[in-house]
Amino acid sequence: MRIGRSALFGLLVSLLSACGDQEQPRDVPVGEIIGAPLDAAPDPVPSKPATSAPSDPKPDADGLWPIDWAKFIGFDYPIPRHPDLGPEATAEREKHIPDEILAWNGRRVAVDGYMLPIDVDGEEVILFNLFHSLESCCFGSLAKITNWIEVQMPSGKGVEYYPYGQVRVTGRLSIGEYHVQGGVVAIYRIEGESAEPKW
């Protein structure tokens, strides 16, 4: 359907008339728009430091503490491209690890995840990274260092590689930077006891 020029002109006049019926803006002093000066703002109240770590889940019947990945990946850990691996610089970076995570250091844990082999002896994996999801392991963007746990199996006790399904790893957890060849390769590490498929 074609609309004639006169009809369009009539529509335009109607719209302009409607706009003219609206309430005109009132004059407002600039001070009301800008608000109070910055020096009138109250001083910021510092947050209270944590007095204790939140309560943990209870260990299972075997004395293993189940890891909740949401806690372990829920913060940023800054690592420069060429980090200073000296003790002072390392300690400064490790201050970014929350107290509730540091509280897990030295515990025997159980954690579910996906294997990415690093060192293989024959058909057995003796060193691998355990990722919280397949996406952070093998697909998409580069994972943050909080997204994996390095697992070292004891000598002579390698495990089978399970490429796609979740495995449950047990062992003793260490928290803090682990350095290899001039770089930070992990901040979570497990001395592995077992790695078994969950299916």
Q: How far apart are CA 183 and CA 145, in angstroms?
A: 12
167 and 131 Cβ atoms separated by less than 8 Å: no
Tell which wins on pLDDT, 97 or 33: 97
Q: Are 127 and 150 in contact (CB under 8 A)?
A: yes
Q: Give the tens place of pLDDT for each residue, 103-132.
A: 999 999 999 999 999 998 888 999 999 998
CA distance 117 to 55: 33
Q: Name the region of 190 (left: φ>0; alpha: ψ -120 to 50; beta: rest).
A: beta
Alpha helices in the chain (DSSP H): 5-20, 30-34, 69-72, 87-94, 99-102, 134-138
Question: What's the whole-number mean pLDDT along residues 33-44?
Answer: 46
Q: What is the mean pLDDT of residues 177-186?
A: 92
pLDDT of residue 138: 54
Other C-beta atoms within 10 Å of 176: how many? 15
Q: What is the C-alpha to C-alpha distance for residues 166 and 115, in angstroms, rounded to an integer? A: 8
Going along 106-157, which residue ranges are E strands?
A: 108-121, 124-131, 148-152
Strands 108-121 and 124-131: antiparallel
Query: Residue 77: its pLDDT value, please?
Result: 93
**What distance, in Å, lies between the first and last C-alpha atoms of the chain?**
65
**Structure confidence at residue 24 (pLDDT):** 52
Stated pTM of the model: 0.68
Instruction: Name the band, by pLDDT with cuts 50, 70 and 90, for residue 47.
Output: very low
Q: What is the pLDDT of residues 125-142, one digit of tens each?
A: 999 999 987 665 555 555
